[in-house]
Amino acid sequence: MSATIAADQLPLQRLYHWARTAPDRVAFTQPIGAGQVTTYTWAQVIDQARRVATWLQAQGIQPGDRVAMLSKNTAHWLMTDYAIWMAGAVSVPLYPTLAAGTIRQILEHSGAKLLFVGKLDGWSGMKPGVPAGLPCVSHPLSPDDAKKAYTAWDDIVAKTARLAGDPVRPGDELSTIMYTSGTTGAPKGVMHTFANFMAAVEAGLERIPQNENSRMLSYLPLSHVVERALVEHAQLRTGMHVFFAESLDTFTADLQRARPTVFFSVPRLWVKFQQGVNHKMPQKKLDLFLKLPILNGIVKKKILNTLGLNECQFAAGGAAPMPAELLAWYSRLGLNVAEGYGMTENIGATHITLGDPGSFGTVGRPYAPVQCRIAPDTGEIQVKAPWNMLGYYKEPELTKEAFTADGWLKTGDKGSTDAQGRLKITGRVKDLFKTSKGKYVAPAPIEDKLVMHPAVEACCVTGANLGQPLALLMLNADATKLAQGSGKAELEASLAEHLKHINETLDPHEQLDCLVITTEAWTVDNDLITPTFKVKRNRIEDMFAKNYDRWVGQRKKVVWNS
């Protein structure tokens, strides 16, 4: 059942509103290379979207057809989404880092009739995933060979008439299909309506100060549900100014340009900011300065100014747990970072803190319309939100499995609530885990690849809250003997090559940081495997998790654990 919201608050109606009431206001600031930017007003945005919508309909795109987008964040990503909606179609955004096999799987499963190709790194590796004969359009910032091969966005805009009138879509109509990893590793298409996104944004605005004077930097993938809600739909709701990042190398300059009033990031980037500060000012020195009344304010201001966050009114983290000590570190600088919680299936919006120190270690209380409960038998967090997904595209059985018999969405996370009703995430119910980048990793398919090496007896892919996963290996008897003799270097080289080949088949967030060879056998007696020789993942975690950071820190592809 879809959320309900006033018709004039739906996405296309809001787009028409800004084009009508603030046509000359800048909506987007887009870097175009070499430190240069271009801007797009609301009038320019809707003009281009209307023309592309006309062109889509001329290509035979019918209401309900799926149209895909493969691009990093740009102004044209959002204009494409608007055009798809105006044409009556459903958008299918793909992560701009996917492997070719995953791209093909999603395009074929969704039945996409057309693909927009935008700004990308590594396009040559992705291109084989585009089915032969699928019509494609290239954005202005797309790779050169895509521009040569495909119909150009700018040509469409130059030669096509504007779509007449103000076509609208009902709130309960399907807006988008967002593919997310499942427990088997196969992407599942999460279906959301137009009303779902705007209802979630409406609830979010009760705690997040976004308005027409706000500024945000869009750099986390728009194919991720949080960016889609917090940037795309929140901008349509409020009319705020959205800036885009050019690249990782220019990120500091991009942040300085935007001076965001609202800034959201994954924990890993918040850690990198902290490390950058400590590199220039060691923690002991910073602690001393913060204790001195005269220097305290000056140092705080300088650090936040350097980060580009001196005008930030609301900072938030999510997609993976934020360490309480990291939140406390920022709090001492005068920047209270809120922590949010949710999943693709509920717009990433069920809980958020207000950044107050008392909430550190929790994700706060649920939004007003959201109900949350902890399953008594499994400890699983289950939620009822008005904007829960319609279901998984073409997967009725998986949809049924995602909900309890009485209609609560199963999150797969374990948790508890404190006396104030704040939710604390304590782990995953099943094996699927999330890295610090907020991406889910299904270990089983990767483990199936690892055990194909002749030296590997058993393995366990792990790494919740690490930047990248790693794998623990138990060698078979022959390989163990080899490693104890003169063949260790040869075995190590062979395993490193095996890792390289496996990583080439995985999406970036799944790629393994290293292989860790454990010298102790995994047996029934030491409780690391079951009598049927299944690895006990929780026991492996209990025994080895304390070493993960040390192993990764060695920066070796093959690590030996004695």
- Look at strands 371-374 and 380-384 and give their pairing: antiparallel
Q: Is the confidence at residue 532, as pLDDT, over 80?
A: no
As a whole number of angstroms, the distance between CA 557 and CA 499 comes to: 8
Same domain, 300 and 360: yes
Q: How confident is the model at residue 477 (pLDDT cuts 50, 70, 90)?
A: confident
Sign of CA dihedral 74, 76, 82, 84: negative
- Three-state secondary structure string covering 145-178: HHHHHCEEHHHHHHHCCCCCCCCCCCCCCEEEEE
15-41: per-residue pLDDT in tens? 999 999 999 999 999 999 988 999 999
Among 397, 430, 463, which residue terminates a domain?
Answer: 430
What is the separation, in whole angstroms, between the first and last Cα of the chain?
A: 54
As a whole number of angstroms, the distance between CA 3 and CA 387 comes to: 5
Higher pLDDT among residues 473 and 181, named by residue: 473
- Average pLDDT of the residues in 60-83: 98
Q: What is the number of structural domains in the chain?
A: 3
Q: How far is residue 264 from each of residues 220, 334, 389, measured CA to CA in Å?
A: 9, 16, 23
The pLDDT of residue 339 is 93
As a whole number of angstroms, the distance between CA 562 and CA 550 comes to: 13
Q: How confident is the model at residue 525 (pLDDT cuts 50, 70, 90)?
A: low
Same domain, 475 and 352: no
Q: How confident is the model at residue 181 (pLDDT cuts 50, 70, 90)?
A: low
**Residue 364, domain member (yes or no):** yes
As a whole number of angstroms, the distance between CA 267 and CA 547 comes to: 20
Range of the domain at 102: 7-242
The H or E element spanning position 70 is strand 66-70
303-355: per-residue pLDDT in tens? 999 999 999 999 999 876 777 778 889 999 999 999 999 999 999 999 999 88
Higher pLDDT among residues 215 and 554, named by residue: 215
Same domain, 336 and 460: no
Q: How confident is the model at residue 531 (pLDDT cuts 50, 70, 90)?
A: very low
Q: For residue 388, give both structure tokens.
A: 């829960």
As a whole number of angstroms, the distance between CA 416 and CA 106 comes to: 35
Q: How far is residue 425 from each of residues 49, 377, 544, measured CA to CA in Å?
A: 41, 16, 21
Same domain, 58 and 195: yes
The pLDDT of residue 471 is 95
Specify whether the CB–CB gap between 541 and 428 falls below 8 A: no
124-133: per-residue pLDDT in tens? 999 999 999 9
412-450: per-residue pLDDT in tens? 888 899 999 999 987 667 777 889 888 888 787 788 788
**Residue 541, domain member (yes or no):** yes
Same domain, 292 and 421: yes
Q: Is the confidence at residue 534, as pLDDT, over 70?
A: no
As a whole number of angstroms, the distance between CA 107 and CA 559 comes to: 38
Same domain, 120 and 195: yes
Q: Which one-letter amino acid corresponds to residue 525?
A: D
Same domain, 306 and 422: yes
The H or E element spanning position 427 is strand 423-428
**Residue 66, domain member (yes or no):** yes
Higher pLDDT among residues 451 and 93, named by residue: 93
Q: Is the confidence at residue 528, as pLDDT, over 70?
A: yes
**Residue 251, domain member (yes or no):** no
The H or E element spanning position 272 is helix 267-280
Highest mean pLDDT among 223-227, 249-253, 289-293, 385-389: 385-389
- Average pLDDT of the residues in 38-60: 98
3-state secondary structure of 471: strand
- 248: CB partners within 8 A, 6+ apart: none
Among 242, 270, 294, which residue terminates a domain?
Answer: 242
Angle in degrees, 0-180, between the axes of helices 11-21 and 75-86, rounded to the nearest 10: 110
- Average pLDDT of the residues in 197-205: 96
As a whole number of angstroms, the distance between CA 429 and CA 413 comes to: 6
As a whole number of angstroms, the distance between CA 21 and CA 41 comes to: 12
Q: Is the confidence at residue 140, as pLDDT, over 90?
A: yes
Which CATH number do you get for residue 275?
A: 3.40.50.12780
As a whole number of angstroms, the distance between CA 191 and CA 402 comes to: 13
**Which has the closest alpha carbon to 335: 354, 312, 307?**
312
**Bridge partners for 559 per DSSP:** 516
Q: Is 283 exposed, middle or buried (0-12, 13-18, 19+ CB in 10 A)?
A: exposed
Same domain, 227 and 329: no
Mean confidence (pLDDT) of the chain: 91
Specify whether the CB–CB gap between 134 and 59 falls below 8 A: no
Same domain, 300 and 162: no
Q: How confident is the model at residue 135 (pLDDT cuts 50, 70, 90)?
A: very high
**Residue 354, domain member (yes or no):** yes
**Residue 254, domain member (yes or no):** no
Q: Which one-letter amino acid corresponds to residue 85?
A: W
- Average pLDDT of the residues in 537-551: 87
Specify whether the CB–CB gap between 52 and 157 falls below 8 A: yes
The pLDDT of residue 133 is 95
Residue with tokens 């109606």: 13
Q: Is the confidence at residue 183, as pLDDT, over 50?
A: no
DSSP 121: S
> What is the maximal distance between C-alpha atoms in the chain?
78
Specify whether the CB–CB gap between 72 and 157 falls below 8 A: no
Radius of gyration over alpha carbons of the chain, in Å? 24
Same domain, 273 and 370: yes
**Residue 413, domain member (yes or no):** yes
Q: Which one-letter amino acid corresponds to residue 413?
A: D
The pLDDT of residue 184 is 41
As a whole number of angstroms, the distance between CA 271 and CA 284 comes to: 17
Which CATH number do you get for residue 514?
A: 3.30.300.30
The pLDDT of residue 182 is 45
Same domain, 423 and 481: no
Same domain, 113 and 84: yes
Q: Is the confidence at residue 368, as pLDDT, over 50?
A: yes
**Residue 248, domain member (yes or no):** no
- Look at strands 423-428 and 409-417 and give their pairing: antiparallel
Q: How confident is the model at residue 161 (pLDDT cuts 50, 70, 90)?
A: very high
The pLDDT of residue 296 is 87
As a whole number of angstroms, the distance between CA 234 and CA 513 comes to: 36
- Average pLDDT of the residues in 249-262: 94
Specify whether the CB–CB gap between 191 and 392 falls below 8 A: yes
Among 406, 430, 454, which residue terminates a domain?
Answer: 430
